[in-house]
Structure 1
Amino acid sequence: MDANVSHANELAELEPRRGYLLALVVLLGALILVFMAWKGARERELVTANAEFVNRANEITARLQQPMTNYELVARGGASLFASVARPTPAQWQAYVESMRIQPRFPGMVGLGFAGYIPGAELDDLQLQWRDSGYGMLQIRPHGIRPVYGPVLYLEPRTPENVEAVGYDMFSEPTRRAAMELALDTGLPQLSGPVVLIQDLGEQKTGMLLFIPLYRGGGVPGSRMARRQAVQGWVYVPIRLEPYLQAALGSAYREARFRIYDSTAGNERLMFANHAGGDILPAFRHSTTLQQYGRSWRIEFESLPLAEAAPRLQTLENLLALGLFACLLLYGIALVLAHTESRAHTIATLMTEDYRRSEQRFRVAMQYSAIGKALLDSDGRIVEANPSLGAIVGIEPHALIGVRFDTLFEDDEPGLGGAGGGTDAHGVHRTTRRLHREGGMPRHAQLTYAPVPGNVGQDIAGLVQAEDVTERLRAEARVHALNRTLEARVAMRTRELSQANQELEAFAYSISHDLRAPLRAIDGFSRTLAERYETVLDDAGRGYLSRVRRAAARMGELIDALLKMSRLSRSELKLERVDLSRMAGEIVEELRMGDSPRAVEAVIEPGLQVVGDATLLRNMLGNLLGNAWKFTRERPDARIEFGVSTDTEAVPEFFIKDNGAGFPQQYVDKLFRPFQRLHHEGQFAGHGIGLASVKRIVERHGGVIRAEGQEGEGATFFFTLPGLGRH
């Protein structure tokens, strides 16, 4: 039995994995098919591109042969001239060459010339004959005594380079001599190996020469010995290789990538390359051999890189990428299906296990919960109750089954509701009811009714939770009584404080009113005394009298400042949007007008606005800016600055900074106290009320103010106000 259960469990675990295995098989199969199709198409494309490349190379090879045939025909025309005339004059040779128009018709052909076959014993006779015919002195180069000479006698057209070549002994140079002897011995046209033409000695350009042998009598003797005896010379064509190739290939000259090697007799020599090679890797290579008048040319062709030689491969690469994407998409779909199947199997298993555990948790929560719980049917009868509910109502849990839940309480509520309760959007109802317990004091329970579904066949309509809140309600009642007592005490203290403030205000008004009468009397009598008895009093008496009058005036000013400061605490705030920048500018202008001789630099940051009482804020700025103006009086470079500091991460602060007298930082706490002064009045006049008024105005607006200073270097006042903004 256990073996069967184990086997069944293994099959159940294997079932979800089959879908993943099938998805993997689908992916591998799709990838194999895509790669096989791509590989076949790629190979066919490469074969096609290679065939096109080879055909193009063969076409270029064929085109290289045609110009040389034309050069041979031109040279044979010159040989025909020698056949008709024993030796044509230079003028006749010039006329023939000019009639052929060699240079425009045959690019690469430097000219058409004749080189004589001169044994060493006949060289002097040739030079004498040449001079007697009026051709000038024939200079043979290079100098030296040789058995046979092959000097250039005629070379047209008569360009400076060709004229310079006349007299050059081509038989003295090995490469030219080999071609000339081979042409002489075979009686056939012969092309030389790569040489530097006489015309190009300074530029080192690659060239070649085509030789056609000339024999006396016009024909070609039958034997090699006879040819040697009948030889007259050679008609030859000097050819520059690069122009020759350009004329032969046309536009293909720049498009094709090839190298030409002279491989005659197995000795390879690079003649020409129209590309430098480098790091470019060609897609295809092709080698062909071209026979040119006794010379063997090996031509190596290279294609462009694969992306350019076979451009359709890019389409195949895109198709491959698309195919791979389709494979991955197909695999993804199969994988999603497999995952869905596995997930469904897992969810089904978990739901079964979760249902079992949920039922177990519910039973444990019912059994061991400290809160009383009961399941009710549609008639409100108890289906199941936990021990905590039995302890709350004083009845055993098994005895509660079948009892209507409402009968356990003294107050009668219809249904599951109750006075003072409430029901939320989910149908959960909460209320507090009084318990009906025999013997003992009344108890109160907080009840929470919630609808719950039951199993099929069960008549369960809801769950009710009961919590004994008797002690909590008693504590709340005691707290409410205490709160009422505290509220009465606060109201009484408020009335007492209000009466004390009114008495203080009346006292301050009375003191200021009563003090003004004797001050006026002191001031009046002292003024009368000074006017009437000025001649009687000496200087000391007049000084004492003046000091009495000044003290009375200062006392009056102090009384006015005290009344003004008391009004700051009583006046009602009229909040509005205030432009502090404009207000500060107006105050500075007023200070300038009142103290015009001074030159003070005032820097005011524009656009600073707050919400506050305009009158109080003007008073505050007037005091701060007036202090800065006053305490910079002894500085020739006085400077006052008003702006906003953003150095801190907290609320930005306004600041008013000056470079005046400053103050010791250790006495900063005395600045904002009434009648406290840090400077002697003889040095800087004042009442000691201004900064105290500033502090009250800032605090009434919900802000704070502080100061930083250093004696002799100036002071800075920082304050915050609500509604800071810029425009």
Structure 2
Amino acid sequence: MAASTPRQEIEAARARLPRRPRRSHVLAVLVLVGSLLMVALYARGAGERERRLAEASFIADADQLADTVRQRLLQYELSLRGGVALHSAAVETPTARQWRGYVDGLDIRRQLPGMMGIGYVAWLDPRSLAELQLRQREAGEGLFMLSPRGVRPNYGAILYFEPEIESSRLAIGYDQYSDPVRREAMEAARDSGEVRMSAPVRLRQYGREGQSGVLLFAPVYRTARLPVSRAGRENALVGWVYAPFRTAEFIDRSMIPVGYNLAFRIVDVTDGKQVPLLASDGWVDGAEAPDTLHSVTQQLYGRSWRYDFQHVGPLTSGGMRELQATLIAGVLACLLLFAVVMTLAQTQSRAETLAHRLSDSYRRSEQRFRNAMQYSAIGMVLLDRNGAILESNPAMAEIAGVSQAALAGTAFKRYFIDGHDDVSRTQELQALREGVFRSTRRLQRYDGDIREVHLASTLMPGDDGSDVARLVQVDDVTERLRAEAQVHALNRTLESRVEQRTRELTQANHELESFAYIVSHDLRAPLRSIDGFGRILSERYDAVIDPQGQDYLARVRNAAARMDALIDALLKMSRISRGEFKRTPLDLSRMAGEVLGELRQSEPAREIAVRIAPELRAEGDAALVRNLLENLLGNAWKFTANTAQATIEFGMAPGGVFYVADNGAGFNADYASKLFRPFQRLHRDDEFKGHGVGLASVRRIVERHGGTITAEGRPGGGATFRFTLASSPRR
């Protein structure tokens, strides 16, 4: 049979222990259940009490809101009665200007924010209506139009409404008495002499469709004293002062405070009918709506309004949160008490198990340390307080060139060339503070070989009786340091090679400059001789040479001139990469405009559309970028010479890419790679003049700025050149 492990032996010993009844565990469970039951009973009573307090507070807030609505409507009533007093004090009906002054004085927007305005409704019969229309026509106010049209015994027409807005003008001339709902409120106000409110209607101030709202009517009589009889009041009536307000905005605009946890609606329940007037934010209708927690009915200006209140969210109070905190604390106390009892019950069994585990853990920890010492690739030694080697591993013995047995008991410092220990007393104290002390030493092997080693010394914590004082790790880095030395030697050799190549490149540049000088001077002399003698032959021997000879002579002179032009082009292209590079901010839009202006002066008869994007800016050498634009825009100008309605465009695409586009002759895209080579031309010389070095110069300028250039085109469809100018130039 296989030998059992220490862990298996511990588990077997634990299984052999007699199992005793855990009465303490049962007691702990009973304590937990009893304490939780007491907390639950307390929570039930306290929660019911807090709920009743929260409900009472909610009802008080609801009643206060209903009273606030009544107070707001009372302010509306006072403003209407002021308008009634204005009519009663005047000998005649106040003019629209007087009415506007009265309404402006009320400052409705600030003092009465829920009210849309105040108007006056005249009580008219057909005769008085005709007189009113005649007076307005004589006053130059135009014909007073009544709507809806028709002949009726009496009218209640709106004469004016302030403050006047674009939509409120639609209400002027409207016969409110023709509407049954409005007529009911107007007659109630007339017969009672008090302010009366209408049922919900569509307000005329907001177009024919209107918006839902209610109106307050205050009667105006000819006499200051209120007639006693109903007939007398009807005969003394001259009109009504009225005020509309939209129910949908009544709460928001009238600044009535509504709590965040309160939602309500107002329902007109006059005559047993239920007509919703308005509902606040948070009000919920339907099957999922919460129960109405409170209702209040008020009698307001002849109407019965019922306020229904809902509570948004759970019904809680400030004390409910304290109760919840108390309950949480009680539950935590119960659990803590249970944990204490349970901990005491398990202490004895854990103590027995812990003793076995500690012995096993110590043995396994010792074995792990031995394995680490044995199989580590880095040398490790344990030193006592005097610096003597107590124990070492095979890697250390290999580094020192002796056996492990020979290392034991020897002084660690004797293996180093300088002959003293690497850690002094002061450095030991520093290692205690920092954890590890590192150094590089030279170790002499038993065979005399010198090795470079890195030491990492750590003070070992322990009691005063411990013989191990320090752990030192020894890493042989001789081969690595030798490789680093070789790398440094190669770097020094590489620097000398770079300097040599730099000198060679400088010499090559000087040779190129000399070659350019030879081309510009030595090659031009034969060309000037050919052209000069050809001109002399043409002038002096014109009568001797036949026409075919004259043609040959002209071709010789043209070839010499073309050769001279090619030499100039080569010299210009060579100067592009040899001149000093000066980077400055550039306005490319202005520079392109100047180039195209010079082209227009050279051919003023040409009609060509030019589009230059504004504010095109970059950084670069001004002379080189000017040369670049002259070549690209000059090519576009040249290759659009035979194009009707020619266009040239210079702009910038996304990503900082500039482009020059035209609708000229174009080129075959298969040969686009030849465009930027010197003397490579895609058009015959009799079609378009040129030397074939312009685009080669453009490419050198772009590359010297660290950018790129590409070309696109098709025969007869124009060409587009795109280029970039990077932030740093290439030298």
TM-score, normalising length: structure 1: 0.55
Listed one character per residue, the Cα deviations across residues 155-176 of structure 1 (whole Å, up to 9, x for unaligned) are: xxxxx9xxxxxxxxxxxxxxxx
- CA radius of gyration, larger in: 1
Alignment identity in percent? 47
Give the equivalent residue in structure 1 for 2:308. Answer: 305
Q: Are residue 546 (structure 1) and residue 554 (structure 2) matched?
A: yes
The answer to whether the 8 Å contact 2:435/2:459 transfers is no
1:421-440 → structure 2 map (5 Å cutoff): 426=434, 428-439=436-447
- 1:471 shift after superposition: 3.0
Q: Could you give the per-residue CA deviations for residues 20-66 of structure 1, whole angstroms, max 9, x where no partner exists? A: 999988985775354232345478889999xxxxxxxxxxxxxxxxx
SS of the residue 1:683 aligns to? coil
The answer on 1:400 being equivalent to 2:407 is: yes
Equivalent AA in structure 1 for residue 49 of structure 2: A
Q: Is the 8 A contact 2:50 2:320 kept in 1?
A: no
Residues 460, 637 of structure 1: CA spacing in aligned structure 2 closer, same or farther, 3 A cutoff?
Answer: farther
Match of 1:147 in 2: none
Distance 1:497 1:371 in 2: 51
Match of 1:603 among 580, 605, 611: 611
| Length, aligned pairs only | 477
SS at match of 1:703: coil
- Partner of 1:677, secondary structure, is coil
Measured in 2, the distance between the counterparts of 1:719 and 1:506 equals 32
Equivalent of 2:591 in 546, 560, 583: 583
**Cα displacement (A) at 1:599:** 2.5
- The match for 1:707 is 711
Q: Does 1:521 align with 2:533?
A: no
In 2, distance between residues paired with 1:339 and 1:617? 87
Counterpart CA distance in 2 for 1:430 and 1:662 is 73
Match of 2:696 among 692, 702, 705: 692
Tell me the amino acid that sits aligned with residue 403 of structure 2. E
Q: Secondary structure at the match of 1:603?
A: strand
C-alpha separation in 1, matches of 2:28 and 2:500: 80
Please point out which of 472, 491, 495 is paired with 1:464. Answer: 472
Cross-structure match for 1:239: none
Residue in 2 that maps onto 1:654: 658
Distance 1:339 1:605 in 2: 82
> Residues 231-380 of structure 1 correspond to what in structure 2 (within 5 A)?
273-275=272-274, 305=308, 307=310, 317-319=316-318, 322-323=321-322, 326=325, 330=329, 361-376=368-383, 379-380=386-387
**Letter matched to residue 514 of structure 2:** A
SS of aligned partner of 1:708: strand
Deviation of 1:695 after TM superposition, in Å, equals 1.0
Q: Does the 8 Å contact 1:644/1:653 carry over to 2?
A: yes
1:363, 1:44 → 2: CA distance? 77
Tell me which residue corresponds to 1:386. 393
Q: Please state if 1:444 is matched with 2:456.
A: no
Give the alignment partner of residue 455 of structure 1, picking from 462, 468, 471: 462
**Residues 449, 462 of structure 1: 8 Å contact kept:** no
CA contact (8 A) 2:576 2:700 kept: yes
Superposed, 1:482-501 pairs within 5 Å as: 482-501=490-509
* Residue from 538, 560, 570 that aligns with 2:568: 560
Asked if 2 retains the 8 angstrom alpha-carbon contact of 1:656 and 1:716, the reply is yes
| Amino acid aligned to 1:392 | I
Q: 1:314/1:448 Cα in 2 relative to 1: closer, same or farther (>3 Å)?
A: closer
Q: Is the 8 A contact 2:653 2:659 kept in 1?
A: yes
Secondary structure class of the residue paired with 1:2 = helix
Aligned to 1:636: 644
Aligned twin of 2:243: none
2:44 match: 32
Cα gap change, 1:372/1:492 in structure 2, threshold over 3 Å: closer, same or farther? same
SS at match of 1:499: helix
For 2:488 and 2:413, locate their aligned partners in 1 and report how far apart those are by CA, in whole Å.
30
The structural deviation recorded for 1:636 is 2.2
SS in structure 1 of the partner of residue 703 of structure 2: helix
Q: Residue 541 of structure 2 corresponds to which residue in structure 1?
A: 533
Q: Distance in 2 between matches of 1:507 and 1:590?
A: 33
User: For 1:602, what is the secondary structure of its paired residue?
Assistant: strand
Corresponding residue for residue 131 of structure 1: none
Deviation at 1:11, TM superposition (A): 12
In the TM superposition, residue 558 of structure 1 has moved relative to its aligned partner by: 0.8
2:414–2:420 contact (8 Å) kept in structure 1: no
Query: 2:437·2:458 contact (CA, 8 Å) conserved in 1?
Result: no
- Matched residue, 1:716: 720
State the SS of the aligned residue for 2:456: strand
- Partner-residue secondary structure (3-state), 2:455: strand
Alpha-carbon spacing, 1:580–1:453, altered in 2? closer, same or farther (3 Å): farther
Q: 1:37 to 1:658 in 2, by over 3 A?
A: same
User: Residue 217 of structure 1 corresponds to which residue in structure 2?
Assistant: none
- Cα deviation for residue 687 of structure 1 reads 1.0
Shift of 1:667: 0.7
Q: Using a 3 Å threshold, how does the CA distance of structure 1 residues 39 and 642 change in structure 2: closer, same or farther? A: same
Q: Quote how far apart the aligned CAs of 1:602 are.
A: 2.4
Letter in 1 for 2:481: L
Structure 1 unaligned residues grouped into runs of 5+ = 50-159, 161-202, 204-254, 260-271, 287-300, 418-422
Counterparts of 1:685 and 1:21 in 2: how far apart (Å)? 107
Q: Indicate if the aligned counterparts of 2:412 and 2:421 stay in contact, CA closer than 8 A.
A: no
Q: 1:565–1:693: 8 Å Cα contact kept in structure 2? A: yes
Counterpart-to-counterpart distance in 2, 1:645 and 1:23: 78
Counterpart residue type for residue 273 of structure 1:
G
The 8 Å contact of residues 667 and 682 in structure 2, kept in 1 or not, is answered as: yes
User: Is contact 1:382–1:405 with CA below 8 Å preserved after alignment?
Assistant: yes
Gaps of 5+ in 2: 1-12, 62-152, 154-183, 185-265, 277-284, 297-303, 347-353, 425-429
CA–CA separation in structure 2 for the residues paired with 1:2 and 1:529: 129
Distance change in 2, residues 1:447/1:566 (3 Å): same
Deviations 1:504-540 (A, max 9, x none): 3323321331111111111112222222333444433
Secondary structure of the 1:570 match is coil
Q: Which residue matches 1:504? A: 512
* C-alpha displacement of 1:465: 2.1
Map of 1:573 onto structure 2: 581
TM-score, with structure 2 as normaliser: 0.54
**How many Å separate the matches in 1 of 2:671 and 2:443?**
70
- Which digits, 9 at most, give the CA deviation of each residue in 1:604-637, with x for residues without a partner? 2333332321111111121111111211222222
Counterparts of 2:16 and 2:659, CA distance in 1? 88
Specify whether residues 512 and 48 from structure 1 end up closer, same or farther in structure 2 by C-alpha distance, changes over 3 A only: closer
